[in-house]
Amino acid sequence: MLALRSVRVAMALAGALGIALAIVPLLGVLGVESALLLGVALPPLGALCGARVALAARAERIASGALLLQRALAAGLLVLLVPLLVLLLNALRVRTCAPLEGLTFLALGPLSGISLAAAVGACAGALPLRPWLATALALLVPLADIARAIYDFLATPAVFAYGHFFGYFPGSLYDELVGVPWQLLTLRVFSLAAFAALCMLLVAHYDPGASRLRAAPRSGRAAAWLVTLPCAIAFLLGWLNAAQLGHRASSQRIAEVLGGRAQSERCELIVPRELRRARRQRLADDCDFRVRQMERWLGVRHPRRLRVLLFRTADEKRLLMGAASTNIAKPWRSEVYLQDDVWPHPVLAHEIAHIVASNVGRGPMRIAGRLGGLLPDFALIEGPIARRRG
């Protein structure tokens, strides 16, 4: 594998990333943050290496799909090994509070992601495609997983993200205690199903003579479909039921779990079904009052009806949209996410201020910041509102 230039370049880039992580105190140890960044950066490199290994096998006439898979996985693991060694060496000078948990995040994040990406790359490289097209296809798959997570952040209530390649993004930065969620464990069950299906595909359909995948399985390898087909179906079922499994968030799923509604002149409320009618109306009236109050203070009018989603507990909120003890707003969706509390709700006005202020915000997220809001200015976003709240 080291003879391939693409593998050496990928290892060099991964090493540079490891050094960059080691410089930052929060990222220089094994944990959820470093696992996330490695999970974002390394699987595309692993897919690239897997594809280039398969393309190199066209000249070598490699003996079997299993051997091709072994080489692709070895190349991907070498890419992961370089930054891992950097972080382990950095642990000699920086104290690691929870090393076993950090290793767990590593295994369930970049290790699983780069293994799957290497298998994807090997399959793409073995397709009867031009080298540049096979390489581009291999890169596209893990990058599409990241793009899908970004889309979910913008288009759904989610602040968390789960992905078969990058692993787990826990959501709100203010929720400091982040453990290994069971949703990540179930996600990796479906990742393993996809990995097994790709492995069996290579074993059954790789033609050593042509160094390509072919449509019909090789003689004596048709039984591999007894593994491939159930694994592929399991992966598809996991994808289709991602909201029910907690791997993705959806407004419909949240509304079903909470079960109650209330509506006022300026607000729509999604609340627990057991919340009494009088409390619903009181919260709706307070929401109307806070919208008008913030409009007067900021000097702008919010043209849409604002939606407040009230969760029973912090744990329920974390499960359904990602933020646990942190109450947040998504200004571009005109939505506020709160957990039930005393009346008047202590942070309702603060979060509504974010929504009303979005009418002078920038970019797709309707917030203050440079580059059309893509670089948020948290002093402008939180500072004046926090002073007003105090």
- pLDDT < 50 positions in the chain: 385-390
User: Given this model, what pLDDT does residue 220 score?
Assistant: 63
Q: What are phi and psi of 329, to 5 degrees?
A: -135, 150
The set of residues, in sequence order, having a beta carbon less than 8 Å from that of 224 and lying 6+ positions away, is 200, 201, 203, 204, 217
All structural domains of the chain:
5-211+220-249 (no CATH), 252-389 (3.40.30.160)
- Counting beta carbons within 10 angstroms of the beta carbon of residue 378, is it exposed (0 to 12), middle (13 to 18) or buried (19 or more)? exposed
Identify the bridge partners of residue 262 per DSSP, sorted by sequence position: 269
Q: What are phi and psi of 264, to 5 degrees?
A: -135, -170
pTM over 0.85: yes
User: Given this model, what pLDDT does residue 173 score?
Assistant: 59
User: Given this model, what pLDDT does residue 177 score?
Assistant: 58
User: Given this model, what pLDDT does residue 94 score?
Assistant: 78
User: Given this model, what pLDDT does residue 383 score?
Assistant: 62
